[in-house]
Chains A and B, each alone.
Chain A
Amino acid sequence: MKDDNARFEYLLRLGDNSLILGHRLSEWCGHGPVLEEDIAMSNIALDLVGQARLWLAHAAETEGAGRDEDTLAFHRDAFDWRNVLLVEQPNGDFAHTMVRQFLFDVHAVELYRGLSGSTDETVAAIAAKSLKEAIYHRRHSGQWIIRMGDGTEESHARAQAALDDLWGYSHELFDDDALVERLVADSIAVPGAELKPAWDAEVDQVLGQATLSRPSDDWRVDGGSQGVHSEHLGYLLAEMQFLPRAYPGAKW
């Protein structure tokens, strides 16, 4: 594998995580539990789609095969996507959406903090920019975890159920395969194992405040970053990619 090839794959993982989660959040637009939250989720979606655009543009440039960020976003089938399974999970109730977001946000903050020192200058620049946004996203989702967990009997039960359902998807965020290790050797990427202690500390602190219990690590599902997805991704792509596929080159 050429170095550029590994870098391209890694950039796809970063871009695909942001884009798929951004799309999932955008599904709440017009359906939020309250107007403020509807607006908040749309704004976070916008940040994530913006970050995805930067990552995928850099991926396309690295690949050098004449594709651009739009080609990558709209003309790839499910098995070519490299996002973790966590982000493609359906929105479920508001508690599921916020727990998914919180587990992701805490990781994103640590990841971008690490990547802002990458030897790939564009990676460092995108990470430094995204870090500022991710800190606000984490603040938002973290406050909701506390509010729901330490709220009513029902909100607590729903938050705990969501945590129990999604916990096993969080481990994939930290997987270090041969590709990551190769890029870590060049100081382009940061190892997931290095991010885990800070993630654990932050998650534990918020769960403590929220009076929620941390689920046990006795199950895990992964494969997304290798292109093995749940059936949910196909439905998501069918909606997200419909227009550019039905009307190639459409402009407005």
Chain B
Amino acid sequence: MTAIVTSAYNAKIRGLLDEVYDPELPGLTIADLGVLRGVSTDNGQVAITLTPTYSGCPATQVIEMQVRDVLLRAGLQDFRIDTELAPAWSSEWITERGRAKLRELGIAPPVGRRGDASDYCDPEVECPRCGASNTEKISEFGSTACKAHYRCRACLEPFDYFKCI
């Protein structure tokens, strides 16, 4: 295939993968999350590269299954899914659209930069419901490994905070 045809084809595959959502974050695609690391075509074979968010994240296998499912339904036969560990996934890879989606789900998007967790203090997290910055951490780990559990002191609602990693 020529370069132009290949890149158009890869873009089409990316379009198909926009239907793959994280099973634990409805509304966020694997591209929004930065879990989809690459789509390439080599000699007619499509290679999808994924990276896990956390080492033990149970969503990883479900995501792979969904990618397989979407590609098979589109009639694709010759493809492979590669897992890439390096560079390690970072919450900085969540797109602006992804961060907006998180807020819509009532989850505060990550604050600060990688490595900030090295001290024993907590970042100031904005309440995704009322926007107040008067919030407190209830637990370092929320409903999943990637989230911490917070409470808003202004509107009193509890919420999940997507940790910076």
Chain A contact residues, CB within 8 Å of chain B: 36-37, 39-40, 43-51, 53-54, 121-122, 124-126, 128-133, 135-136, 139-140, 142-143, 146, 206
Contacts and interface: CB of A to CB of B under 8 A. Distances in A.
Interface residues of B, number: 28
Interface string B49-61: 0001011111000
B88 interface: yes
A46 B89 CA distance: 17
Contacts of B143: 39
A125 B117 CA distance: 20
Contacts of B163: 136
Contacts, number: 85
B118 A135 contact: yes
B140 A47 contact: no
B139 A39 contact: yes
B88 A129 contact: yes
Interface string B114-155: 110111100000000000000000111111110001000000
* Chain B contact residues: helix, strand, loop or mixed: loop
Contact of A133 (B54, B86, B119, B138): B54
Given A37-B139, A44-B141, A46-B145, A125 B88 contact: yes
B165 interface: yes
B11 interface: no
Contact of A50 (B56, B86, B88, B139): B56
B86 A136 contact: no
A47 B54 contact: yes
Interface of B: 52, 54-58, 85-89, 114-115, 117-120, 138-145, 149, 163, 165
Nearest to A131: B88
A142 B122 CA distance: 13
A132 B113 CA distance: 12
A128 B115 CA distance: 12
* Chain A contact residues: helix, strand, loop or mixed: helix
Given A132-B114, A136-B117, A50 B87 contact: no
B141 A124 contact: no
Contacts of B114: 132
A50 B140 CA distance: 19
A164 B86 CA distance: 39
A128 B114 CA distance: 12
A130 B86 CA distance: 11
B138 to A, nearest CB: 6
B145 A43 contact: yes
Given A46-B58, A47-B54, A146-B120, A40 B88 contact: no
Contact of A36 (B117, B149, B165): B149
A61 B58 CA distance: 23
A40 B149 CA distance: 10
Contact of A54 (B55, B117, B165): B55
A126 B140 CA distance: 23
Contacts of B54: 46-47, 50, 133
A53 B163 CA distance: 23
Contacts of A36: 138-139, 141, 149
Contacts of A53: 55-56
